[in-house]
Structure 1
């Protein structure tokens, strides 16, 4: 039986709940696949959302949100869109855990190929880019359809452990800062705050990028709306003060089982390990809420790896897949500079 690809009806509240149920049960589903998040991204990315869903008969076999960006009459397809700080998206397979390898691979291939056909029909992109989630470890349905695939990496830390055992798994150079003496403990304060913390972190990250001749492209308005309109706790801004002055902050997105580092934690202008203590507070708070994993990101950048590997996380692989005509090489190069 073939797989039918249809575009999801965003106006039907029952369908929206079903979409999010699919995301929760998929091995490739993430917070960024949920429908409220997709609509928020669509508004701030100046893109058009195509939420594809595939069926084998009456059984859903996967969801695949895709965004169209158009400039000068030339369209490109992305999942996730650029400049938004979203780490991954792509296809989220469904109901394949019971299948043997041959049938599971055939279903995934047909689902992805069906979505690619729909993308070509409805968008007609000259350039396409998809970053899969770590739950989707097979890029071949894309490479068999003229995409180039590159492995990418992230750090994932299991935090559903005893806090002391978790801390002992960290590097010695990190552990020594997590139990400050009485004098140091009086110097710092870490809190989860609101919109003013988001503005502080965004300003700090922007300045850090500018100092490196780079541009931080995530819109402040996107982060503020995420905090104000998504369900409580989806975006959590943590800030740390040293000697009464804000020194650093970290933004994390939170899904049902995973928190995702988003931004912050650059080098503060204080001689104090405030970022180590920020991460440790984020980890402990999330664990207390029943969160299982912390996606630390940063595993593709050598400079950042040196720091984040101190938490002894697992190295997880996802895939960047791209397809485009030669005239769109400039689009690809521009995107890579901006992301």
Structure 2
């Protein structure tokens, strides 16, 4: 087994496209735009068995004020899952073969990370990747994260009947109120509203930078959508951004807007219907780790799905994490970078 970086977009994207667990976040242009806007160095590793790639593993490294960091994904990106992507044939293997390959992947990547000598390492895996034992044995700390998913292979009637009854009543009312849904590539209103929300001092990170968001929408116009819900007077009642690649991911949304309508609820229901009509099997709704959001999101009766984050840090890395959480948001807001 050997690990090496890939410098060919087609080779990388073909592997991500063919793997069931590859997400839009893993795609070549997405990774390079992320590196650009986080001022990080992208290391698109692939682990090979012979000449066959069995794993793609993007890492980002950055050194700031003497602190060396390795992330997958880096902060300030609103990327919920990254880490490794196993090959298209991996899930069909016997357990003994899976464990053998995972051990070899972990060893190769550990050797690469060791050469980078980070003070702070953080990797957040995709929900389908549950075997993190090799990282625990390597004395990484593990955190359990959550996301909400809805199985769109169910009949729409079943999904509807599983909604909280109060939510169904709201949706029935809004269905006759003249609200209309429009898809756009204009991020200005979305970004302004999200930025205003993140000025709340209780939130510990700033939102995605506008230039980064605009670059992503330009790079993936068919995969990233901005959906506006308008009332009969053309006022915005709700707005969200989605990623539509293998799964329909409700990626970014705004807090409830000043409106007579249940805009966020109706917008999400319309997108669930839209995603099912487009043939997506899974609707993912980020936000399950936020205590302030779970009451709203849980009324759609989603499944609570786990994923894992592993971290390893020395004393300098631990201090840098504290400093980041304490000061970065204030500095970026004051500088107008959001």
**Where does structure 2 lack aligned partners over 5 or more consecutive residues?**
330-338
Distance 2:174 2:15 in 1: 48
Output the TM-score relative to the length of structure 2: 0.90
Worse-superposed segment, 34-43 or 206-215: 206-215
Distance 1:98 1:161 in 2: 24
1:204 aligns with 2:204: no
RMSD: 1.9
1:279 aligns with 2:268: yes
**Where does structure 1 lack aligned partners over 5 or more consecutive residues?**
none
Instruction: Call closer, same or farther: CA 1:66–1:168 in 2, change over 3 Å.
Output: same
1:98 aligns with 2:95: no
Q: Which residue of structure 1 lines up, in the alignment, with residue 177 of structure 2?
A: 185
- Which residue of 144, 150, 155 corresponds with 1:157? 150
- Which residue of 119, 137, 143 corresponds with 2:130? 137
Distance 1:248 1:58 in 2: 49
For residue 6 of structure 1, give the secondary structure of its aligned residue in structure 2.
Answer: strand
For residue 41 of structure 1, give the secondary structure of its aligned residue in structure 2.
Answer: helix
**Equivalent residues, number:** 325
Q: Which residue of structure 2 lines up, in the alignment, with residue 116 of structure 1?
A: 110
1:288-307 correspondence runs (5 A)? 288-307=277-296
Quote how far apart the aligned CAs of 1:101 are. 1.5
Quote how far apart the aligned CAs of 1:5 are. 0.6
Q: Which residue of structure 2 lines up, in the alignment, with residue 246 of structure 1?
A: 236
Quote how far apart the aligned CAs of 1:201 are. 1.1
Q: Which residue of structure 1 lines up, in the alignment, with residue 214 of structure 2?
A: 224
Instruction: Call closer, same or farther: CA 1:37–1:149 in 2, change over 3 Å.
Output: same
Quote how far apart the aligned CAs of 1:115 are. 1.0
1:66 aligns with 2:59: yes
1:201–1:248: 8 Å Cα contact kept in structure 2? Answer: no
Output the TM-score relative to the length of structure 1: 0.90
For residue 28 of structure 1, give the secondary structure of its aligned residue in structure 2.
Answer: coil
2:67–2:316: 8 Å Cα contact kept in structure 1? Answer: no
